[in-house]
Structure 1
Amino acid sequence: MADAKFVEKVDEEPGLPGKEANLDPTPEYMPRYPGSGRLKDKVAIITGADSGIGRAVAILFAREGAKVAISYLSEDEDAKKTARLVEDEGSEALLFAGDLGHKDLCERIVAETVAKWGRLDVLVNDAGEQHPDKNITDITPEQLQRTFQTNIFAQFYMVQAARPHLKKGAAIINTTSVTMYKGSPGLLDYSATKGAITAFTRSLSGNLVEDGIRVNAVAPGPIWTPLNPAGGSPPEKMEHFGESVPMGRPGQPNEVAPAYLFLACADSSYMTGQVLHPNGGSVVNG
């Protein structure tokens, strides 16, 4: 089927999504502990898994026994490295390049994953983009639509495609943000999408709870990934990125990934509609 009003990638920050290989220092993505089989024989789809938080989640899930489908926009080098790291953990990986704003792509990712491995147990909606603007009048219609298309429409598309394959015990984990709770004067459209994601998470959890499918979210604070250095934050802010949180530093992807593992496995069997907050100590409501 044709996509409805698909908006092409905007060129305001041509460095996005950014290459993790170019970051100095390199983000810490390797798991810190041995696996314990918490996702043994499970199959997971992780969007935005070529780098950053998504890469760390993919490797951790693989270490815990899951096969992992990796969705990403265009950073082939990063994505291939993530796939190698998954395989180094003794697991298997599938790679899917393309824009999740295309509903057809979301359907293909799910269909080919299920065709390859016969099931789908965990969906992690992590892909996202952000474009800083000091004034609301600087946000173009194309940027506004583009940010919503990537950050929230794609989550709807992925869940719609995955839903027929999710059985009792399955888990959906969405990535929201601390900006949903604290706001961000320079990320108006991005923060608005993160508010939508939290509402989507809470609403979807109630929609699926009777079928035994849990839906939760993670709201990271400032994490050292390619998103901000590649244009997601103004250059003048990068020198002190993350210093404003109580811990005084940005977090590392492998400090966030365990939150996704907890929500994906049976350890969180009595949790749905909830949000976890790996954010360096910022106290937020909810």
Structure 2
Amino acid sequence: MTRATPDDPRNAHHQGGFPPQTQSQPGLTSATHPTPDHGESTYEGHGRLAGRRALITGGDSGIGRAVAIAFAREGADVAIAHLPEEQEDADDTLGLVREAGRTGVSFAGDVRDEDFATSIVTETRSALGGLDILVLNAGYQHDIDSFSELRTDRMRRVFDTNLAGLVFSARAAFPDFEPGASIIVTASIQSFNPSPGLIDYAMTKAAQVAFVKALAEEAGPRGIRVNAVAPGPIWTPLIPGTGWDAEKLAHFGTDTALGRAGQPAELAGAYVYLASEEASYVSGAVLPVTGGKSL
């Protein structure tokens, strides 16, 4: 039998840095160059999540879109939450979910709003007939030149999006989860290796790891698993919207062992694994997908 030659991970996707570009938050896929790869043409499902029902916050683009595509192709119905300004991206993501033959629904709002972050759980259960997988992926970051320039309003947006919104949705979902349910948080390499220019973002990501470990202790006796994925530098619309200058974009991801930034598609398998029966003995874990950067 002839074996396929594995791809060289150093050049499996875009190599080198990225051209100068800026976006206001939230960033959009259509304005991100080059276009991120979410696995649209490459991800192949194998029924590992057949019959499951998932809610993904920040599911319109970037990592969230890649997870939505993968979950749908693995047999799950998918709900996504997104900001109203991201409707174009959300519609594209739902189209890909439905092309896979699964139900796809979206909810427009801001997870900083407790009523919205809570209601999406109820609405997902109503639309999909239940909820088995909660992916807490919505996030916000911005760059600062020095700590003295950290603005309170932007800091609060980071804290409220990355922490309060996460807690609102998880708290709403948790009481009615059945054994076998799974919560997956998108943490970050910043949880363990923080950058001064992202100090408030890094603080929230470290807090997310504490959330995962603490909730996993409580959830385990009920048969519920709680885990996190810690991405390294991944090319998504969030990056042009961070406020980095041309030099930082030109070197984005080139300091990893593999010498390049990752693509959203390269994270999808980690979320599928953590949501699937293959990870039945995995809880309280932080799975790094960092291109070789150490946690």
Scaled to the shorter chain, the TM-score interval is over 0.9
Across the aligned residues of Structure 1 and Structure 2, the Cα RMSD in angstroms comes to 1.3
Structure 2 equivalent of residue 53 of structure 1: 63
Bigger mean CA deviation after superposition, 201-210 or 33-42: 33-42
Whole-angstrom distance in 1 between the partners of 2:160 and 2:173: 18
Alignment partner of 1:277 is 2:291: no
User: Given residue 34 of structure 1, which amino acid in structure 2 is its aligned partner?
Assistant: E
Structure 2 equivalent of residue 17 of structure 1: 26
CA 1:282–1:14 in structure 2 vs 1: closer, same or farther (change >3 Å)?
A: closer
Structure 1 equivalent of residue 142 of structure 2: 131
Whole-angstrom distance in 2 between the partners of 1:39 and 1:52: 21
The normalised TM-score by structure 1 is: 0.92
Task: Tell me, yes or no, if the aligned pair for 1:106 and 1:158 is still in contact at 8 Å.
Answer: yes
**How many residue pairs were aligned?**
272
Structure 1 equivalent of residue 73 of structure 2: 63
User: Given residue 106 of structure 2, which amino acid in structure 1 is its aligned partner?
Assistant: L
Uncovered stretches (5+) of structure 1, i.e. residues with no partner: 1-12
After TM superposition, the runs of 4+ consecutive aligned structure 1 residues lying more than 4 A away are none
Whole-angstrom distance in 2 between the partners of 1:147 and 1:83: 27
Task: Tell me, yes or no, if the aligned pair for 1:37 and 1:65 is still in contact at 8 Å.
Answer: yes
- Structure having greater relative contact order (Cα 8 Å, sep ≥ 6): 2
Whole-angstrom distance in 2 between the partners of 1:100 and 1:34: 31
Cα deviations by residue, 1:89-137 (Å, 9 ceiling, x for unpaired): 1111111111101110012111111112221000000000001112111
Q: SS at 1:35's partner residue?
A: coil
Q: Displacement of 1:21 after TM fit?
A: 1.3
Whole-angstrom distance in 2 between the partners of 1:228 and 1:257: 18
User: Given residue 24 of structure 1, which amino acid in structure 2 is its aligned partner?
Assistant: H
Uncovered stretches (5+) of structure 2, i.e. residues with no partner: 1-21
Structure 1 equivalent of residue 214 of structure 2: 203
Q: Give the 5 Å matches for 1:164-183.
A: 164-183=175-194
CA 1:242–1:14 in structure 2 vs 1: closer, same or farther (change >3 Å)?
A: closer
Task: Tell me, yes or no, if the aligned pair for 1:132 and 1:234 is still in contact at 8 Å.
Answer: no
Q: SS at 1:219's partner residue?
A: strand
User: Given residue 61 of structure 2, which amino acid in structure 1 is its aligned partner?
Assistant: S
The normalised TM-score by structure 2 is: 0.90
CA 1:105–1:250 in structure 2 vs 1: closer, same or farther (change >3 Å)?
A: same
Q: SS at 1:218's partner residue?
A: strand
Whole-angstrom distance in 1 between the partners of 2:201 and 2:102: 34
Cα deviations by residue, 1:128-154 (Å, 9 ceiling, x for unpaired): 000111211111221121111000111
Tell me which of 278, 282, 291 is aligned to 1:267: 278
Structure 2 equivalent of residue 39 of structure 1: 49
Q: SS at 1:173's partner residue?
A: strand
Identity %: 46
User: Given residue 214 of structure 2, which amino acid in structure 1 is its aligned partner?
Assistant: S
Q: Displacement of 1:235 after TM fit?
A: 3.7
Whole-angstrom distance in 2 between the partners of 1:127 and 1:235: 26
Q: Displacement of 1:69 after TM fit?
A: 0.5
